[in-house]
Amino acid sequence: LIKATYDVLPSPANLVRWKVADDDKCRCGEKGTVRHILSRCKLALNRFTWRHDQVLVVLVKALKDKIDQINQGKVPTVSKRAEVTFHKAGARKQAKPAAKSQVVDKRWKGHWELAADLESFLVFPLVGTTQRPDIVVWSQEIRCAIVLELTVPWEDNFVNAEIRKEERYETLMEECRAQSWNVEYYHLAVGARGFIERKLLNIFRHRFGFSAAELRRLKC
């Protein structure tokens, strides 16, 4: 991982730079940089798919465990500040900072289900479509859903991957809302070298209620 991060793996391009070899080409004919081999080579598309699915398996397992807890009554909580109090003008003593309290996250009412695009073909549960987002979490009772799409790009491409995926599913999200679904869409990214985008951790923490310990286990 460290060598991949600092681009000192023995890729064809590096071997030529180090004067160990004469050919810097990948087997596909493109220049064989570490970035190319790990995220762009057309001969490795099946391996890229495998890598994506292995990351997805980890995320789905963690989310299934969390959804099971929620359905059993262990609903996530959110912080709520107490009302701010003010002191009289001219008073010396400052008002104490408002204390935070934990309240039940009302967004998790009802019974929730989860479907993922893994071994079997995912039939999108909200509206009729041939599109296949990676993860869908939904509650039929309250007509609320969370759609998650995972990408495993080269780390410099996190933003571009997010924009591309949002454009792909924009129409689908509009169709869901037109049929009275309160739907949220989030993009999840884990880099080709294993670095986790902070947005993913924030979504799991603040939307799904993962604790700090649960996030540590997820990252490991």
Helix and strand totals (H; E) in the chain: 7, 6
Note the pLDDT of residue 160: 96
DSSP-derived 3-state class of residue 23: coil
Judging by beta carbons within 10 Å of its beta carbon (0-12, 13-18, 19+), is residue 9 exposed, middle or buried? middle
DSSP alpha helices (H): ranges in 72-102?
Answer: none
Which stretches of the chain score pLDDT less than 50? none
pLDDT tens digits for range 135-188: 999 999 999 999 999 999 999 999 999 999 999 999 999 999 999 999 999 999
What is the model's pLDDT at position 78? 83
- For the record, the structure tokens of 9 come out as 């793996």
Residue 79: what pLDDT? 79
Q: What single DSSP character describes residue 75?
A: -
- Give the distance, in angstroms, between the CA of residue 194 and the centroid of all CA atoms in the same chain: 13
Query: SS3 sequence, 146-168?
Result: EEEEEECCCHHHHHHHHHHHHHH
Task: Identify the pLDDT of residue 151.
Answer: 97
Whether the CB-CB separation of 114 and 67 falls below 8 Å is answered with: yes
pLDDT of residue 100: 64
Contact 125, 131 (CB under 8 A): no
**What pLDDT does 27 receive?**
95
Nearest to 59 by CA among 134, 128, 5: 134
183 vs 3: CA distance, rounded Å: 41
